Amino acid sequence: MPLLRRVIGAVLRRVRQRQGRTLKEVAGAAGVSLPYLSEVERGTKEASSEILAAICRALGLPMTDLLDLVRDEMLRQLAPQTARRAGPLVQASRRPARPLVQAPRRAVPVSRISAPVPSAAPVAECATGTTLRLRSAAGRPRTRLSCARRAVPLTVTC
């Protein structure tokens, strides 16, 4: 596992070099000495959060972006090790997953829903060539899905 201070330093150096800036420029803007910034970039010094914030400000890089870049770099470095030990690496997406059941502005009759779903399967699974059949406990067709607060119109996206 890579050391966090080395990954942070490598990311800071890469950002600085992509901006075409020198150690002297960034150190002056951040209010740290040039040798100290060099040690942080090489991963030999572990900078405090205040120093990292000052360096990020000098680079015009939000701290959250630095942390995202560090995370991505650590995952990249860990991927070969993880693949050897445990098979393929699965990464979580930063974007929220799209819900399969959504509430439109108006109710849509079940007869107009064309998303194929097996009649006995949960709504989250779709299968080709089957039709959606929702029935109430009494066996009547349902066009609305009951949620905790209220009934909402039902649509299915796959």
Query: Are residue 146 and residue 108 in the same domain, yes or no?
Result: yes
Residue 48: closest CA among 59, 38, 40: 40
Query: Residue 49, SS3?
Result: helix
Is residue 10 scored above 80 in pLDDT? yes
Residues 11 and 75 in one domain: yes
d(CA 110, CA 69): 46
How would residue 59 be classed by pLDDT, with cut points 50, 70 and 90?
very high
Cβ distance 10 to 69 under 8 Å? no
The lowest-confidence range among 61-65, 75-79, 100-104, 134-138 is 100-104
Q: End of a domain among 65, 86, 107?
A: 86
- Would 93 be classed as within a structural domain? no
89 or 80, higher pLDDT: 80
Concatenating the DSSP letter of every residue in 7-35 gives HHHHHHHHHHHHTT--HHHHHHHHTS-HH
In contact, 42 and 16? CB cutoff 8 Å: no
Co-location of 23 and 71 in the same domain: yes
Q: List pLDDT tens digits, range 135-145.
A: 555 666 655 55
**Host H or E run for residue 146:** strand 144-146
- Would 92 be classed as within a structural domain? no
Q: Is residue 27 part of a domain?
A: yes
129 vs 51: which has the higher pLDDT = 51
Assigned domain for 47 exists: yes
Same structural domain, 127 and 154:
yes
* pTM of the full structure: 0.52
What is residue 80's predicted lDDT score, i.e. its pLDDT?
A: 72
Do 11 and 71 lie in one domain? The reply is yes
Q: Does 102 share its domain with 64?
A: no
Residues 104 and 143 in one domain: yes
What residue numbers bound the domain in which 136 lies? 98-158
